[in-house]
Amino acid sequence: MANLRLISLNKDPQNEPSVSCCDKVATSETEILSRLTSCCPNTRQGPQEWIIGLIDTPAGPVPRISSEWTKTEHWQHIKCRTSAYRNGYDVQPGLYAVGSPDANSDVIATANYKYSFDIVRRDLKGLNLWVLVLDTKGINVWCAAGKGTFGTEEFVRRIRAANLDQIVNHKRVIVPQLGAPGVSGHNVTRQTCFRVVFGPVYSKDIGEFIRGGYKAAPEMRIAKFPLRDRLVLTPMEINPAMKKYPLFAVIVLFLFGLNPEGIIFADAIKGGLPFLILGLLSVLSGAFLTPLMLPFIPFRSFALKGWITGMLTIFLASKTMGLSQGTNPLLTVITYLFFPALSSYWALQFTGSTTFTNMSGVKKEMKTAIPVYLAVLVITVLLSVVFKMQQWGVI
């Protein structure tokens, strides 16, 4: 049976040899804690205060983790929601302990995306469990299962690397339901003798799932996606779009300001301002309004949903804000061709964040939508050239 033994992370390492946090070999408790709480695996996170000690096991010390979030972590989670930590926000794969687990305690698996990991450890407060963290390259369970990083091969590797058979008396690992597409239960059992039990969708239901004899109530199997969940995901779509907006603005202002005698600033502002506003509205339509209204917009296709929302947004803006380019038929065609397509494009980016589609559905939709976007872009460029030639009196 594993014995709980807490070690203060503020322990003075005086007179102990200095060991790099990324050394491949760590033989003492001090070295293990040094490696886990400093630069590995991600230097951007700073000191990993969520590791609060070690638990002795027959396979060696296992880090014990806190179920509380620090103020720094709360701020990091906000940054995650705005895509600042979209890549590289991870924890070191391996085995961790929540509470005071022993040889009879259950083992649950999760991904090494730090935000997912934090939600899991918070939801496990008050429980005594082992947490097996797979190397999913910093991707959440659901997406990693689709990409194959939360998969059978990595699962087997982590079970063996943790010497799990030496730590627990049972042969059972609870896997999140959303990880099921990537994990073959019978192959895991064949290679490790550990049985895969698919748990509930949400980690907050783990305690009730275990107390219920490893049976999930029907509501535990449902992946909900209410308005609040859709709303908190929109900043991750708006941020990348707005990073590209300055380039769009430069192109628009250059196009309208370009004259045979040079760049006329007044023409650039007068002609380009309506298009700059329409560009912002397209981002708002595709990356914000479409996700919010997702269940109510007709059709299953995200591209079509975004196009419908974009068309309505551009139409209403043109009529109510005086942005209509009706004085020039070419500009009118460009307006209603390009901007709804732009809204559609940003709406399509939201497919990976929802419960509305799957990997094959996303690939099928992209196969159809991307050529359409490219065609719209080419036509828009050609029409813009014709517009400028007309403006200059060339044709």
User: Where do we find the tokens 């090494």?
Assistant: 112
> What is the SS3 assignment for 139?
coil
Other CB atoms within a 10 A radius of the CB of residue 64 amount to 21
Answer yes or no: is pLDDT of 19 > 60. Answer: no
Please tell me whether residues 49 and 93 are part of one structural domain: yes
Flag the least confident range among 26-30, 136-140, 175-179, 312-316: 26-30
pLDDT tens track for 231-273: 888 888 898 899 999 999 999 999 999 998 889 999 999 999 9
Output the pLDDT for position 57. Answer: 94
pLDDT confidence bin for 80, thresholds 50/70/90 = confident
Based on the fold, state whether residues 257 and 174 are members of the same structural domain: no
In which order are the strands placed within the sheet that holds 94-98?
A: 3-5, 51-56, 62-65, 94-98, 129-134, 107-111, 172-175, 195-198
Q: Are 39 and 90 in the same domain? A: yes
Q: What confidence tens digit (pLDDT) does each residue in 264-323 have? A: 999 999 999 999 999 999 999 999 999 999 999 999 899 999 999 999 999 999 888 766
Categorize the per-residue pLDDT at 352 as very low, low, confident or very high, splitting at 50, 70 and 90: low
Least confident of 31-40, 54-63, 145-154, 384-393: 31-40
Question: Quick one: 271 and 297 in the same domain?
Answer: yes
**23 band by pLDDT with thresholds 50, 70 and 90:** very low
153 and 274 in a common domain: no
Tell whether 110 and 197 lie within a shared domain: yes
Token representation of residue 195:
């049985």
State which amino acid sits at residue 41.
P
Where is average pLDDT lowest: 29-38, 152-161, 375-384? 29-38
pLDDT digits (tens, 9 = 90+) for 82-126: 776 666 789 999 999 999 999 999 999 999 999 999 999 999 999
Report how far Cα 307 is from the mean position of its chain's Cα atoms: 24
Q: In this structure, are 86 and 231 located in the same domain?
A: no
Helices 302-320 and 265-284 pack at an angle, to 10 degrees, of 130
| Whether the predicted pLDDT of 37 surpasses 80 | no
- 99 and 64 belong to one structural domain: yes
Q: In angstroms, rounded to a whole number, what is the distance separating the alpha carbons of residues 66 and 96?
A: 10
Higher pLDDT, 136 or 78: 136
User: Given this model, what pLDDT does residue 40 score?
Assistant: 46
**What pLDDT is attached to residue 373?**
97
Domain shared by 55 and 203, yes or no:
yes
- Whole-number percent of the chain with pLDDT over 70: 83
Q: Which domain holds residue 324?
A: 227-391
Same domain assignment for residues 16 and 47: yes
Q: Which residue has the higher pLDDT, 38 or 331?
A: 331
Indicate whether 231 and 157 sit together in one domain: no
**Is 136 in contact with 179 (CB distance < 8 Å)?**
no
pLDDT for residue 2 is more than 70:
no
Of 180, 195, 221, the domain-final residue: 221
Q: Residue 394, SS3? A: coil
The helix, strand and coil proportions of the chain, stated in percent and rounded to the nearest 5, come to: 55, 10, 35
For the ranges 32-41, 66-75, 279-288, 319-328, the lowest mean pLDDT is seen at 32-41
If asked whether residues 158 and 240 sit together in one domain, one would say no
Which of 221, 252, 280 terminates a domain? The answer is: 221
What's the average model confidence in pLDDT over 126-148?
Answer: 89
Mean pLDDT (the chain, rounded)? 85
Q: Supply the DSSP symbol for 102.
A: -
Higher pLDDT, 292 or 352: 292
State how many domains the chain has. Answer: 2
pLDDT, mean of residues 179-197: 94
Burial class of residue 392 in the structure, from the number of CB atoms within 10 Å of its CB (0-12 exposed, 13-18 middle, 19+ buried):
exposed
Peptide bond into 41 cis (omega under 30): yes
Among 157, 187, 221, identify where a domain stops. 221
